[in-house]
Chains A and B, each alone.
Chain A
Amino acid sequence: MSKKEDIVTFNKKKFRFSDWFAEKVIKAVAFLSIAVVILIFIFVFREAFPIFRMDKTVAATTQTLVQERYGGAGTDNSTPKLADNQVANSNKTHVPVDKPSATLLSKTWMPVSDNPRYGLWPLFLGTLKVTLVALLFAAPISILAAIYTAMFAKPRIREIIKPVIELLAGFPSVVIGFFALMVMATVFQNIFGYASRLNAFVGGIAMGLAAIPIIYTLTEDALTAIPKTFTEASLGLGASRRQTAFYVILPAAVPGIFAAVVLGLGRIFGETMIALMATGNAAMISINPFDSVRTLSATIGAEMAEVVFGDTHYNVLFLIGSLLFIFTFALNALAEFYFKNLVVRKYQSRK
């Protein structure tokens, strides 16, 4: 172990294979996440695209064949699930029908009929109604609860409240949907006395439940991120806790709270199971929140299992999926850039 030899070795750059290899692999794997997003774009759009190339005579009606279900009741492992287009064709009747892409903007969603109509408006409206109910229910409650937790509660109590509410985040949406279907629907019907047991209101409240943990946690984070010095300064000037919370801290936390609500909105928008179980699944146009509705994601969830692989109905469902994907993608991008710009600008103006 001559010292002279050791010195010489730092003179020349040594190539270390494992370091080089590890770095390449790690970067490649990380890159895969971008690849996945792009793949989702491609493969969801791919199945939706045929819609726009169809004209009257090519489009065929769907005759749902009972055995061609994806995981419906009564299936067993050995029967091939997929009906080839060839097989399906023998059951299709060629009747003059409306061009599918033209029906997209109509007011009727009736994909299974002699003249299928794929009007998306009832679905948009249904989604809107449910989302509105959910947001109007969840946002105020979550934000106020977060204010209490961050501003008024004693530290010991805060340590208990936070994890308990985060527990709600741990409820799978199918469980919330089940609760809504079994319990909430009956309770609300008894209170309000409306006709449809499962409707936008019940579904909306249930969806709100799913969004509460998200909005609550992020709002609470945003509030506690405001430096303590603000609170101290305000209290030192003689303001009460309430005044400090609402006039000093809350305004400063607005970007974070906005992001929290946006994220909650995204969750509500994409929620499928609760919609399937608690909204009544009727694609109709109505203002009344106590009427049954059908949301976009529920449509996909309910009907994809009964659709023939590759036919028009299938394409339309993928189209709905594409729209959902674009919307949440745009919402996320907006929240990211808006949030970053607003926060950056706030920081700079403070100097």
Chain B
Amino acid sequence: MNDIKVKVKDLSLRYGTNLALKKISMDIPEKMVTAFIGPSGCGKSTFLRTLNRMNDLIDNVTIEGEVLIDNINIYDKNIDVVNLRKKVGMIFQKSNPFAKSVYDNIAFGPRINGISNKKILDEIVERSLKQAAIWDEVKDRLFNSALSLSGGQQQRICIARSLAVNPEIILMDEPASALDPISTAKIEELIHELKKEYTIIIVTHNMQQAARTSDLTALFYLGDLIEMNKTEIIFSNPAKKQTEDYISGRFG
């Protein structure tokens, strides 16, 4: 097993008085794919968003516990959240490229980091698009609007966009749920390639997808972490009955 990249200790989250995450603890190893599964509304997306502090954007949220990335608690008072998000990227459920050209979408991240040299930007754009396995499809259309691409292509543009800022961890919130099977397959293939360099954490409501793509799987239910283990074990020989019930479709 690889080194632990993210260590979560007793993380609880409240929306107002409603306890949405109940003392979650887990270790996420680096350069592997960890999947969060569970029925709708069980807290897996909420938990994902705590890893890059996107929940800060919502009013009335209180968080207890710690999230350590490379042994630094990201909920510490002195953390620079803006820089944190450069290290921990996010892909959203519905692809959200900016209303700009493909090139400007990818170059957005480097530009806000102060890179303005055209040659360097060109290089970064090409590299990121290649890493996202979409370079060939868009290399002649770099200056067209990103919104003119298909849903699956837009999602890969969003992935390229995240890659352009050189993250170490990539969070994916149901990245293929809005896509057709062919695009979904492409995304899953991409994840398989990306894990060689990046730590990937993916939320999915599609169990088969989790089984196909991940190395570790964690089952969430009603804000609790039920079980977390290597994917083969979860899907063939789970320790908890609840896990077995969910896998076999008895609920959720």
Contact = CB atoms under 8 A, between A and B. Distances in A.
Given A10-B72, A10-B87, A11-B72, A3 B79 contact: no
A14 B114 CA distance: 15
Given A6-B87, A7-B72, A12 B168 contact: no
B168 A14 contact: no
Interface size class of A (residues with CB under 8 A): 10 to 19
B2 interface: no
B83 interface: yes
A11 B87 contact: no
Contacts of B81: 10
A37 interface: no
Contact of A10 (B77, B80, B166): B80
Given A6-B87, A7-B87, A14 B72 contact: no
Interface in A1-46: 1, 3, 6-7, 9-14, 16
Contacts of B69: 7
A32 to B, nearest CB: 27
Nearest to A10: B83
- Among B72, B83, B168, which residue has the most Cβ atoms of chain A within 10 A? B83
Contacts of A7: 69-70, 72, 87, 168
Interface in B70-111: 70, 72, 74, 77-84, 86-87
A16 B82 CA distance: 10
B78 A14 contact: no
Contacts of A1: 166
Given A1-B166, A3-B168, A7-B72, A13 B78 contact: yes
Interface string A69-101: 000000000000000000000000000000000
Contacts of B74: 10
Grouping DSSP codes into helix (H, G, I), strand (E, B) and loop, the A interface class, with mixed when no group exceeds half, is helix
Nearest to B84: A10
A327 to B, nearest CB: 38
B110 to A, nearest CB: 12
Contacts of B86: 6, 10
Nearest to B71: A7
Given A3-B168, A6-B87, A13 B70 contact: no
A49 to B, nearest CB: 45
A302 B72 CA distance: 73
B166 A11 contact: no
Contacts of A9: 80, 83
Nearest to A9: B83
B80 A13 contact: yes
A10 B168 contact: no
A8 to B, nearest CB: 9
A16 B72 CA distance: 22
A3 B84 CA distance: 13
Nearest to A8: B72
B33 to A, nearest CB: 20
B78 A12 contact: yes
A202 to B, nearest CB: 52
Contacts of B82: 14, 16
A13 B53 CA distance: 15
B198 to A, nearest CB: 11
Nearest to B168: A3
Contacts of B70: 7
A110 to B, nearest CB: 61
B77 to A, nearest CB: 8
B168 A11 contact: no
A9 B79 CA distance: 9
Given A7-B72, A7-B87, A14 B166 contact: no
Contacts of A13: 77-80
Contacts of B168: 3, 7
Contacts of A3: 168
B121 to A, nearest CB: 15
Contacts of A16: 82
Contacts of A12: 78, 80
A33 to B, nearest CB: 24
Nearest to B70: A7
Contacts of B80: 9-14
A10 B76 CA distance: 11
A10 B72 CA distance: 9
A3 B168 CA distance: 9
Interface of A: 1, 3, 6-7, 9-14, 16
Interface of B: 69-70, 72, 74, 77-84, 86-87, 166, 168
11 contacts: A6-B87, A6-B166, A7-B72, A9-B80, A10-B74, A10-B87, A11-B72, A12-B78, A12-B80, A13-B77, A13-B79
The 10 closest A-B pairs by CB, nearest first: A10-B83, A10-B84, A14-B80, A13-B80, A10-B80, A9-B83, A13-B78, A7-B70, A11-B72, A12-B78
Given A10-B79, A12-B78, A14-B83, 12 more contacts: A6-B86, A6-B87, A6-B166, A7-B69, A7-B72, A7-B168, A10-B86, A11-B72, A12-B80, A13-B77, A13-B78, A16-B82
